């Protein structure tokens, strides 16, 4: 049985809210967010899912030429939406996120059979992570002069953290006595400890003398009660790479990939790298073996053996 998706006591399904959304859609998004909070979804996942659902129904309203107050969608309608996303240049990852969001909406919020259960997930391209060389990392870090941005970049590379994990670090997460950083509620709602290098500790101390953080390690400007946004970190990392003259698009995740690859090239055990990165599956970590040069240097090409001594 499908429960009523929202209340329409005022009889106006097309009433607009201050956000510009129809009242029924605003109410639907609110209920969906509450369900995700109850299930322990991260703030980033909630934001992404809500955005996908909002775009779907806004697009539906434009196609229908009116507000569509019945949120239960049919399988054909969802299929057409996903095809539209792919044909207009959206990635397979983006399309799969939209599919997951609509599935959650129907099952957890509308108490309706998911019309998207028979729709296959778009097959994603398997690409190798982009990494910087150690010399490029050195140039990149040297280009950062702002103490705060410099400290953030050092944390990203020296500990291999995700950008969201860096943004949410607190001063108390830095354990200088044990040489560890406590990463709280990372991906999958899991805590873990990662290394705190002596070099990073010195950089953090220099930053702390200037910034004097007391709660969030990296507050949002003058708002000490909020942490820095992931978007701000991403922007500063990209700008620093340009200033350093690096002809690659550098993102926080590229620094994380570089951290893992350089550890592997230095002979660090793959299982330990998996633990540091917070990967649930070792298969996620194994992909770094395809770009690490440590083993490749030891392999001799058969043509070298064939013509050995002829040089």
CA neighbor of 109 nearest in space, from 120, 97, 98, 101: 101
Cα 37 from chain centroid (whole Å): 18
**Within 13-160, where are the H helices?**
23-38, 43-64, 75-87, 92-104, 134-142, 147-159
Candidate list 239, 279, 287, 294, residue with the active-site label: 279
Candidate list 162, 168, 192, 262, residue with the active-site label: 162
Q: Is 70 left (phi over 0), alpha (psi -120 to 50) or beta?
A: beta
CB-neighbour burial class of residue 187 (10 A; exposed 0-12, middle 13-18, buried 19+):
middle
Around Cβ 288, how many Cβ atoms within 10 Å? Answer: 23
Helix-strand-coil percent breakdown of the chain, rounded to 5? 55, 5, 40
Annotation says 162 is catalytic:
yes
Annotation says 130 is catalytic:
no
Candidate list 256, 287, 297, 305, residue with the active-site label: 256
Candidate list 187, 224, 287, 294, residue with the active-site label: 187
**Distance, CA of 94 to CA of 48 (rounded, Å):** 10
Annotation says 187 is catalytic:
yes
Are the C-beta atoms of 235 and 193 separated by less than 8 Å?
Answer: no
Residue with tokens 């922007």: 235
Candidate list 49, 57, 157, 288, residue with the active-site label: 288
CA neighbor of 228 nearest in space, from 37, 196, 237: 237
Candidate list 31, 90, 253, 287, residue with the active-site label: 253
Supply the residues annotated as catalytic.
Answer: 162, 187, 253, 256, 279, 288
């Amino acid at each position: 049985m499908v429960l009523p998706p929202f209340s329409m006591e005022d009889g106006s399904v097309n009433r607009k809210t201050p956000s510009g959304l129809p009242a029924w859609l605003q109410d639907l998004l609110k209920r969906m967010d509450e369900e995700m909070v109850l299930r322990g979804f991260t703030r980033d996942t909630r934001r992404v899912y809500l955005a996908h659902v909002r775009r779907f129904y806004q697009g539906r309203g434009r196609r229908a030429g009116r507000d569509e107050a019945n949120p239960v969608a049919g399988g054909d309608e969802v299929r057409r939406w996903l095809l539209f996303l792919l044909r207009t240049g959206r990635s397979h990852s983006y399309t799969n996120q939209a599919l997951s969001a609509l599935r959650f909406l129907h099952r957890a919020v509308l108490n309706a059979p998911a019309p998207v259960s028979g729709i296959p997930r778009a097959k994603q391209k398997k690409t190798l992570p982009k990494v910087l060389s150690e010399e490029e990392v050195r140039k990149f870090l040297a280009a950062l002069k702002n103490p705060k941005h410099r400290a953030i970049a050092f944390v990203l590379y020296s500990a291999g953290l995700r950008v969201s994990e860096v943004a949410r670090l607190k001063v108390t997460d830095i354990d200088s006595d044990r040489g560890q950083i406590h990463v709280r509620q990372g991906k999958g709602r899991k805590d873990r400890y990662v290394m705190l290098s002596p070099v990073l500790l010195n950089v953090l101390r220099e930053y702390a003398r200037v910034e004097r953080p007391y709660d969030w390690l990296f507050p949002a400007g003058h708002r000490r009660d909020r942490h820095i946004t992931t978007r701000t970190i991403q922007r500063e990392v990209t700008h620093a790479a340009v200033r350093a003259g690096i002809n690659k698009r550098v993102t926080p995740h590229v620094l994380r990939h570089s951290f893992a690859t350089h550890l592997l090239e230095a002979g660090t055990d793959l299982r330990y790298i998996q633990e540091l990165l917070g990967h649930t599956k070792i298969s996620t970590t194994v992909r770094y073996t395809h770009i690490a040069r440590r083993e490749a240097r030891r392999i001799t090409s058969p043509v070298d053996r064939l013509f050995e001594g002829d040089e």
